[in-house]
Structure 1
Amino acid sequence: MGVRTEARRQGDPQVHPGLRTGGSKIQSYQRRSPYFKAQKTGRCEHLPRDGFLPRIPPFARNYRWLHSAVDPHEKGTRMNTPVENKILAARTSLMWDHPFFGSLAVQLQVVDATEDPAINTMATDGKHLFYDENFVMGLTKDELLFVSAHEVIHNASEHHLRRQHRKPGRWNKAADYVINGDLIECKVGTMPKGGLFEPRFVGLSAEEVYRILDDENDGDDSDEGQGGDPGGCGEVIDGAPMGDKAAIADAQADMQSKVRQAAAIAKGMNAGSLPAGIKRIVDKLLRPKVDWREVLRRFVDESLTKDSSWAKPNRRFLASGLVLPGMVSIGLSHFVIAVDTSGSIDQKALAQFASEIRAAFEESMIDKMTVIYADTDVHHVQEFTAGDIVTLEAKGGGGTAFSNTFEWIAKNASDATVIAYFTDLYVGDFGKEPAAPVIWAVQGDSATFDQLTENTPFGEAILLEVA
């Protein structure tokens, strides 16, 4: 009696009853299943469709959204082509062995793009998986597993929504470096020959890797301006029109919902916990976004001694005809800004920080502001008082050390009310903690932020992510 016939006699035409009871039965099913053996060898196209056992793990049927995503593959309405079966086998392997990636992979609509000259490997836009037949058929099973998961992380990381003004080809390379490092850590398949991986990029965001590649560019952008897949592991295509904030927000919300669902499935399949590598990816993807501007304003406001006064009406409500008391400082307030001018500082991030500092100075109860530009030594100082137009002039460009900066503040700005330090935090010399509270405005990404701030001896840190 075949397994499929026995399943039908139990009243379930698709799922073997032994699959409902636990891990040992599932392992037994895997050993007996001709489909499981075939998809492990990558030769599932030789099995007749009428004899197929369930293509997906039984746990998937507990999720209506996931069942509907894979249901078309089980209808048996037509014979799949060899390349379609090969992709299906890879996705099924991901469902069994890496359910986080697998449950996201099966939701992508597979599209044959062999005739499209712009796609010579695989590509995704968040909803579709485009493939070139020659590329897929030339991959081993483990390489196809890697590439399939690679495309999934492009989507889960919202790379199809985050490119903005960046060059498509270089953006794809930057994202590939990040993704491939994650997949190697998680031991998902085998990276194809020519895949992009460098240990120095592990833990960085695609934006940060892009800036590094941009800085190292030799001027030849011929393979980076129009997209394509210079990394050979699959590319990412914009999933929403650039500048369409509503469409991007909707796509982000949809993707984050799918990531949470996939994480729940993977957690259930791994006895209540996620593998370390997958957990790190999920934590990074689902980290709540904090507006560093709001944190900076709050920090400045809380550091000032102030009281309400009718002599200075609240300007926020004047336009609506309401006259309410505003806040005034009690005593002098001295805002000290230190700017790390070492060579690793990103000028766009500095410009955003400077813009927010100007706004804080103009709108808060600050009497005086001192701006210090320093690397290992203090190179330049600017002084501003209430009413001045603030223009920052960064000077420097060496290494990084904070001790001399805080010594300068102790000698020349001992009345500082609050200190904000813009830096990438790559430093081993913090110096002595000053009397005034310190906030570190850290340029970088969430992965490096956690590592760098773990051993910061004093102060509060905020992550300044470049938009």
Structure 2
Amino acid sequence: MPSEIVPTMAVDRLWRCYVNAGFVDGTPVNELAGVWIHEVSHLLRDHHGRAERLPAQLQGDRARVNLAQDCEINDDLVADGLALPRDHIRPATFGLPNGLLFEQYLPDIPAQPPCPRCGSGVYGGVEPWDLGPDGAATSVSPTEADAIRRITADAIRSHQRTRGSVPNGWRRWADEVLEPTVDWRQVLAGNVRQAVAWAGGAVDYTYRRPSRRSASQATVVLPSLRRPVPCVTIVVDTSGSMSDDDLAEAMAEVAGVLRDIGIRGNRVTVLSCDAAVHVVQHVSRAEELEFSGGGGTDMREGITAALAQPQRPDVIVVLTDGFTPWPDEPVGTRVIAGLIGGDPPPPPSWIESVRVND
């Protein structure tokens, strides 16, 4: 839609495109088509959604965010043979390599450079030319936007299969849309939180603190309800096949989740185990961990030792490369396996598993 205040061409988060008539008159048709595809690419790659997930101090620097996003797009458009204005931004403008995501380009973009404004559909926020959600123009809902992304990604993949001439950035984007990868940290944290919440929901009665309603009963002492703080045991595979770096990262992630939800001290026990259990520790920080082992692998020993503790755990987290025997049947306690390494074999179906990788 035409706008006298938009500098050149811009999009908003509702997939509406604003165009300055003077810019259109002064731009060759082939370059104008390239700019239009550039703006649509911002929407297809969900740049405004990704920008809003940046750290707060970076979200406000819209010029740098816009330039980093232009770098992510324009190398693919040029590789695809599209014409762009002579002053278009690309990774080489800043001495950077092609093929990266804008989040990777952003740290190397200089502060406050001159920049075209591609709109709120690029870096978030609101621009003065935006019509808003109640504007007269047709808009695209988030559900429709996701459908458009999937249809486009499927078309790119089909073109790649038949002609094999899709730029690497577009191919990578299409693969991510159709087969999204999930950060293992989020999955592992979500599973641990869910298991702890489930265990913490086991409300029971106790006479240690009588119910307040007992005051109204002359001869009867009523119990009160209590919600126990769950106990968590982490079984760490310290056999020779484990990578120290992967193990340390996974351990820190689990410890961080437990700390955030208030479980620490004697409510967290860590067992070092290869073919046998070597060290039992109560820890409050990941830095306190000391691992022993280095021999074979048998996580059955670690799980058995966890269950035999004086305070039976409500949740057991096993960090292992997966090359281990497992108990033949459920053990009566929720077990989560963090599988570390390139190609770990799956545990039994009754054990929740998360692939820990880069």
The TM-score with structure 1 as length reference comes to: 0.41
Aligned counterparts, 1:114-125, within 5 A: 114=4, 116=5, 119-125=6-12
Match of 2:176 among 269, 281, 284: 284
Q: Does 1:253 align with 2:143?
A: yes
1:192–1:417 distance in 2 versus 1, CA, 3 Å: farther
CA distance in 2, matches of 1:174, 1:190: 17
Cα contact 1:122–1:131 (8 A) shared by 2:
yes
Q: CA deviation at 1:203?
A: 2.9
Rounded Cα–Cα distance in structure 1 between residues aligned with 2:88 and 2:146 = 31
Alignment of 1:40-59 (within 5 A): none
SS in structure 1 opposite 2:37? helix
Unaligned runs of 5+ in 2: 127-132, 134-139, 205-224, 247-251, 273-278, 300-318, 323-340, 345-354
**Correspondence list, 1:3-14, <5 A:** none
- Taking the aligned partners of 2:105 and 2:73, their CA distance within structure 1 comes to 11
One-letter amino acid of the structure 2 residue matched with residue 128 of structure 1: R
Give the match's secondary structure for 1:256. Answer: helix
**Separation in structure 2 between the aligned mates of residue 130 and residue 207 of structure 1, nearest angstrom:** 26
Root mean square deviation of aligned Cα: 5.2
TM-score by length of 2: 0.51
Pick from 357, 366, 389 the counterpart of residue 284 of structure 2.
389
The whole-number CA distance in structure 1 between the counterparts of 2:185 and 2:342 is: 23
C-alpha separation between the residues in 2 aligned to 1:355 and 1:272?
47
Aligned to 1:317: 201
TM superposition shift of 1:158 = 0.9
Q: Is the 8 Å Cα contact of residues 232 and 267 (structure 2) preserved in structure 1?
A: yes
Deviation at 1:385, TM superposition (A): 3.5
* Residue 414 (structure 1) aligned to one of 294, 319, 334: 294
2:185 aligns with one of 285, 293, 313: 293
- The SS at the match of 1:276 is coil
> Is 2:82 aligned against 1:188?
yes
1:146 equivalent to 2:34? Answer yes
Instruction: Give 1:49-448 correspondences, 5 Å limit.
Output: 111-114=1-4, 116=5, 119-126=6-13, 127-164=15-52, 165=56, 166=59, 167-190=61-84, 192-198=86-92, 200-213=96-109, 217=110, 221-223=111-113, 230=115, 232=116, 235-238=118-121, 251-263=141-153, 275-277=165-167, 278-288=170-180, 290=182, 292-293=184-185, 295-296=187-188, 315-319=199-203, 333-334=235-236, 355-356=256-257, 358=259, 362=263, 367-368=269-270, 385-386=281-282, 388-390=283-285, 413-414=293-294, 437-438=320-321
Q: What one-letter code is carried by the residue in structure 2 that aligns with 1:157? A: R
Contact 2:153 2:174 in 1 (8 A): yes
CA distance in 2, matches of 1:160, 1:352: 28
Report if the CA contact (8 A) 1:146-1:189 is conserved: yes
Post-superposition Cα deviations, 1:121-179, rounded to whole Å, max 9, x if no partner, equal: 21111321122233333322222222111101100111122222312111111111101
Select the structure with the greater relative contact order (CA < 8 A; seq sep ≥ 6): 2
| Cross-structure match for 1:377 | none
CA displacement at 1:384 relative to structure 2: 10
Q: Which amino acid aligns with 1:258?
A: I
Where do 5+ consecutive residues of structure 1 fail to align? 1-110, 224-228, 302-312, 341-350, 371-382, 394-407, 419-435, 440-455
Contact 2:200-2:227 at 8 Å conserved across structures: no
The letter for the 1-side match of 2:257 is E
Contact 2:270 2:280 in 1 (8 A): yes
